[in-house]
């Protein structure tokens, strides 16, 4: 069993770290919210709460599950990692910045793979996340058993940064479908069709998508708005996708529009808003 560093014990990171502990790995944990780390250690025996970056020096691998690239870069800069260790960057982050980070770590003899996830809190708890990995194939093969504790569909998708690129593109497609669904439901309802009927009929028709199948009834029409994925994180992901298009000289007109809508909604609804609250925001507009 390995010694694993785990940084970022939020909605996703906590259940992921729990599964690694249950699989027998020894953990060193860190979170800027100290209670998240001490609370986790209290419930998971022989877990160490890191008090400095030095505490990760004996880790075989360090996993980050953090909000964005700014935070990942700042956190990694403070870590003391041993040559031969592997950084597994599982946040949803900017692929170009991930490449730059991997190059910096390589100079210290530390390999980085980016391994962002899809599936949300439910699949994080179940250990059935989809994981898309960018990086050296040999490093990926070495780390795959660890990733298999956390996910089911684990794909190597290209060189470093490719996982983060694909994750941002996926979340852009998902956000576009969510906004389209929200508009369709509100307009149909204003025309006099029952909202639940609209979702059910789309689910039996060609407009079916992840929002109509797994979010509309579960988090939107019932007013729950508690999927566990924040609107701020969704807006960040769509912004990454739009910037990626620009970086390869293929500006994405629709992604820019979706980013503007999600960012405006996030600003209006505040940092605590769940991404499913876009449904409310579209209705209000």
Give the active site residues.
167
At residue 155's C-alpha, the angle toward residues 154 and 161, to 5°, is 115
Measured from the CB of residue 189, what is the shortest distance to ligand NAD in angstroms?
Answer: 27
Tell me how far apart the alpha carbons of residues 240 and 242 are, in angstroms, rounded to a whole number.
Answer: 6
At residue 94's C-alpha, the angle toward residues 92 and 95, to 5°, is 105
Q: Would you count residue 71 as binding ligand NAD (CB under 6 A)?
A: yes
Chain residues 159-198 in contact with ligand NAD, contact rule CB under 6 A: none
* Sign of the four-CA dihedral 273, 278, 284, 285: positive
Site string for ligand NAD, 87-126 (x = CB under 6 A): ----xx------------------------xx-xx-----
- Of positions 9, 17, 81, 269, contacts ligand NAD by CB under 6 A: 9
Tally of CB atoms within 10 A around 33 = 11
Measured from the CB of residue 129, what is the shortest distance to ligand NAD in angstroms?
Answer: 8
Measured from the CB of residue 182, what is the shortest distance to ligand NAD in angstroms?
Answer: 18
Are the CB atoms for 211 and 178 separated by under 8 Å?
A: yes
- C-alpha atoms less than 13 angstroms from C-alpha of 263 in its C-beta half-sphere: 12
- Of positions 75, 147, 162, 168, contacts ligand NAD by CB under 6 A: 75
Enumerate binding residues for ligand NAD (CB under 6 A). 7-13, 30-33, 36, 65-67, 71, 75, 91-92, 117-118, 120-121, 228-229, 233, 237
């Amino acid at each position: 069993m390995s010694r694993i560093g785990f940084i970022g014990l939020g909605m996703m990171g906590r259940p992921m770290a729990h599964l690694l502990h249950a699989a027998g790995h020894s953990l060193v944990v860190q979170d800027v919210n100290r209670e998240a780390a001490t609370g986790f250690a209290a419930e998971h025996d022989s877990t160490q709460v890191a008090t400095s970056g030095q505490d990760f020096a004996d880790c075989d691998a360090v996993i980050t599950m953090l909000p964005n690239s700014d935070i990942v870069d700042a956190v990694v800069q403070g870590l003391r990692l041993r040559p031969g260790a592997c950084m597994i960057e599982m946040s949803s982050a900017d692929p170009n910045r991930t490449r730059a980070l991997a190059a910096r770590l390589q100079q210290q003899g530390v390999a980085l793979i980016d391994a962002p996830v899809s599936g949300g809190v439910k699949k994080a708890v179940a250990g059935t996340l989809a994981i898309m990995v960018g990086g050296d194939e040999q490093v990926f093969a070495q780390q795959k058993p660890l990733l298999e504790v956390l996910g089911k569909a684990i794909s190597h998708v290209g060189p470093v940064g490719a996982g983060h690129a694909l994750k941002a593109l996926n979340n852009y497609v998902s956000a576009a479908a969510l906004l389209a669904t929200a508009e369709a439901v509100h307009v149909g309802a204003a025309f006099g069709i029952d909202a639940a009927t609209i979702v059910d009929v789309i689910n039996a028709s060609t407009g079916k998508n992840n929002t109509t199948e797994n979010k509309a009834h579960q988090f939107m029409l019932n007013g729950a708005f508690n999927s566990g994925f924040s609107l701020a994180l969704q807006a960040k992901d769509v912004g990454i996708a739009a910037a990626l298009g620009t970086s390869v000289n293929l500006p994405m007109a629709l992604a820019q529009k979706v980013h503007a809508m999600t960012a405006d909604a996030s600003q209006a609804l505040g940092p605590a808003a769940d991404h499913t609250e876009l449904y409310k925001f579209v209705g209000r507009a």
